[in-house]
């Protein structure tokens, strides 16, 4: 059976669900498609919590997206009655002059401070003693400082995706779940979407398929997008762990002289454990064959490499683990642009491991770009031109 819509959104994770919601609000005929049933644990948008902040150390061009996203989530909370955004504070702990090359995060604390200063984002610079006094659960070295942002915190990704999809349905969107798109083909002034035995004709397609985008779209995206397996760990707290774990800020901690000297984490949501993770940028992973098993040795490695001596009262006993997928570009920035051979296809993948906090505003921006011809927030820094593409 064939059908026709104005816009099809392929992939309904962080970016796609937000885009579908924003398009549906505009009253157009919009269809969302996902190979799974979101929110799910197969891609990049799960694991209970995701960090958010406005002083973006990955680059000042992200700041307007983060600021607008906070506004949209508050609007969504008011509309749905769901709590999604928790502004418990965020802190980057690092040597002030750290300049170790890390994907997207070289000079992370310095760039976070610069972004906050430029955009007037409330923040404080704390020395190691003040960090220990305010947050006894965190143990910085004497030569480390903290960039503390009281308006930072965390989002609950599963709730955010579910709210986006619920509101999209309320505004009239059609959603197909458990359906795999096998081809997106330019067709006159629009596109044809192939899935199963069905062909869908649309004026435009917005591809937000994350780790599956490269395989679906082919060149040049298949060489520009690299999916990698990531692991999240929930470690048990010791009986005498500081009570401050219950109201801790989220934290990001570059350390040492190696690229992989970086980890991040969250306050305790259950009073008995804390979630934390590092990042892996090694060999590419097949998103259809991710190893979901996490050996105990990996949790012990994580604890010894990052947590020991830095997080008070955190044992090396993992209560649970989970895997997810980062899909990154070579410069760890987003890729958001029209397809180089079809103006009817917009691509917004990947997040490069730091995208969830921006997803609400990216959804709004993509809807504006598709329907109005331009987004309200400048997305030009994320285009294909930086890779030598037209």
pLDDT of residue 134: 98
pLDDT of residue 96: 96
Cβ-count burial 231-245 (b if 16+ within 10 Å, e if not) = bbbbbbbeeebbebb
pLDDT tens digits, 278-288: 999 889 999 99
pLDDT of residue 281: 83
Token pair belonging to 132: 């220990």
pLDDT tens digits, 8-49: 999 999 999 999 999 999 999 999 999 999 999 999 999 999
Whether the Cβ atoms of residue 177 and residue 38 lie closer than 8 Å to each other: yes
Q: Nearest 10 degrees: CA dihedral of 85, 86, 91, 92? A: -30
Closest of 85, 81, 55, 63 to residue 72, by C-alpha: 85
Token pair belonging to 343: 């103006």
pLDDT of residue 216: 97
Please provide residue 167's backbone torsions phi and psi, each rounded to the nearest 5 degrees: -70, -35
Radius of gyration of the chain (CA): 21
Cβ count near 292 (within 10 Å): 11
Distance CA 311, CA 305 (A): 12
pLDDT of residue 1: 46
Closest of 128, 121, 118 to residue 93, by C-alpha: 128
Residue stretches of the chain with pLDDT short of 70: 1-2
Distance CA 274, CA 234 (A): 5
Token pair belonging to 1: 């059976």
pLDDT of residue 2: 67
Distance CA 169, CA 32 (A): 10
pLDDT of residue 286: 96
Question: What is the pTM (predicted TM-score) of this model?
Answer: 0.97
Whether the Cβ atoms of residue 5 and residue 32 lie closer than 8 Å to each other: no
pLDDT of residue 318: 98
Token pair belonging to 311: 């997080």
pLDDT of residue 3: 73
pLDDT of residue 284: 94
Whether the Cβ atoms of residue 233 and residue 275 lie closer than 8 Å to each other: yes
Whether the Cβ atoms of residue 177 and residue 34 lie closer than 8 Å to each other: yes
Distance CA 366, CA 378 (A): 11
């Amino acid at each position: 059976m064939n059908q026709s819509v104005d816009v099809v959104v392929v992939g309904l994770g962080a970016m796609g669900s937000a885009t579908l919601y924003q398009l549906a609000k505009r009253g157009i005929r919009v269809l969302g498609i996902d190979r799974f049933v979101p929110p799910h644990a197969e891609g990049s948008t799960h694991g209970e919590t995701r960090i958010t902040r406005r002083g973006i150390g990955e680059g000042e061009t992200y700041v307007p997206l983060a600021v607008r996203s906070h506004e949209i989530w508050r609007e969504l909370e008011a509309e749905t009655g769901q709590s999604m955004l928790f502004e418990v504070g965020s802190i980057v702990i690092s040597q002030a002059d750290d300049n170790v090359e890390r994907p997207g995060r070289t000079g992370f604390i310095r760039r976070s401070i610069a972004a906050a200063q430029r955009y007037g984002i409330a923040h404080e610079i704390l020395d190691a003693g003040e960090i220990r006094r305010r947050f006894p659960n965190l143990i910085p070295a004497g030569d480390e400082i903290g960039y503390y942002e009281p308006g930072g915190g965390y989002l609950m990704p599963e709730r955010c995706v579910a709210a986006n999809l619920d509101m999209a349905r309320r505004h009239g969107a059609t959603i197909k779940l458990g359906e795999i798109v096998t081809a997106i083909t330019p067709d006159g002034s629009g596109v044809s979407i192939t899935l199963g035995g069905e062909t869908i004709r649309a004026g435009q397609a917005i591809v937000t398929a994350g780790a599956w985008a490269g395989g679906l779209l082919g060149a040049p995206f298949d060489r520009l997008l690299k999916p990698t397996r990531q692991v999240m760990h929930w470690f048990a707290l010791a009986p005498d762990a500081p009570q401050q774990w219950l109201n801790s800020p989220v934290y990001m901690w570059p350390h040492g002289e190696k690229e992989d000297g970086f980890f991040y984490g969250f306050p305790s949501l259950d009073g008995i454990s804390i979630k934390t993770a590092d990042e892996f940028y090694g060999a590419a992973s097949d998103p259809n064959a991710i190893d979901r098993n996490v050996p105990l040795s990996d949790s012990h490695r994580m604890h010894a490499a990052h947590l020991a001596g830095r997080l008070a009262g955190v044992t090396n006993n993992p209560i649970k683990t989970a895997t997810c997928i980062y899909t990154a570009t070579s410069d760890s920035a987003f890729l958001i642009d029209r397809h180089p051979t079809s103006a009817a296809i917009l691509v917004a993948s990947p997040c490069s491991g730091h995208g969830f906090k921006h997803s609400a505003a990216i959804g709004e921006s993509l809807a504006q770009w598709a329907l109005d011809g331009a987004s309200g927030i400048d997305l030009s820094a994320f285009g294909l031109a930086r890779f030598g593409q037209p």
